[in-house]
Structure 1
């Protein structure tokens, strides 16, 4: 028996804002979508177009407050081929929330406060 990663899920309050952020910040695009027949939720799967791993964004119609991310010690990490250009883009977007120059990494925060690690390709 062997398991493989399929996707990670983040719940989001404003689906359009999140889709726009992930497209601009990380180049992720929609690969599929599930709309609840009663309109109570929408699930959108995002792809990087390279790996089979997906990011699932879930919007819940009746959720009316920010999500409690606790200590937010979890995150997704993205490798980037041009670290300096990515850093400049994210600085311009004003979404960098933490930098660790000694480790050569930084984190960006999405519209709901989820942290995304950016690491250079090695």
Structure 2
């Protein structure tokens, strides 16, 4: 029996704002979309165009309050080939929320408060 990563899900309050962030900050593109027939929810799957792994953004029509991310100890990680250029781009846009110079990584924060780890190429 073999298991393969398919996608990760996060819930978002403003779907258009989140799609725009993930496009601008990480170059992700919408791969597919599922809209419930009565409008209760919309699922948007974002892909990097390199791997098969996707990020599922879930928007719930009746949700009006920000999501409780607890201690926000979970995150998504991306490796980038041009680390310094990515760092400068994310810094210019005010997206960097935490830097760990000792480890050579940093985190950006999306519109809903989720953290995304940025790693240099190996």
Deviation digits for residues 55-106 of structure 1 (CA, Å, limit 9, x no counterpart): 0000000001000000000001000000001001100110100000110000
User: Which secondary structure state, in structure 1, belongs to the residue aligned with residue 44 of structure 2?
Assistant: strand
2:61 matched residue in structure 1: 61
Match of 2:76 in 1: 76
Matches within 5 A, 1:26-105: 26-105=26-105
| Residue number in structure 2 paired with 1:16 | 16
CA distance in 2, matches of 1:93, 1:61: 29
Q: Report the 3-state secondary structure (helix = DSSP H, G, I; strand = E; otherwise coil) of the residue aligned with 1:87.
A: helix
- 2: CA distance between counterparts of 1:89 and 1:40? 36
> What SS does the corresponding residue of 1:52 show, helix, strand or coil?
coil
CA RMSD, 1 decimal: 0.4
Cross-structure match for 1:120: 120
TM-score (norm 2): 0.99
Aligned pair count reads 122
Structure-2 separation of matches of 1:85 and 1:33? 31
Tell me the TM-score normalized by structure 1. 0.99
Q: Secondary structure at the match of 2:59?
A: strand
3-state SS of the aligned residue for 2:33? strand
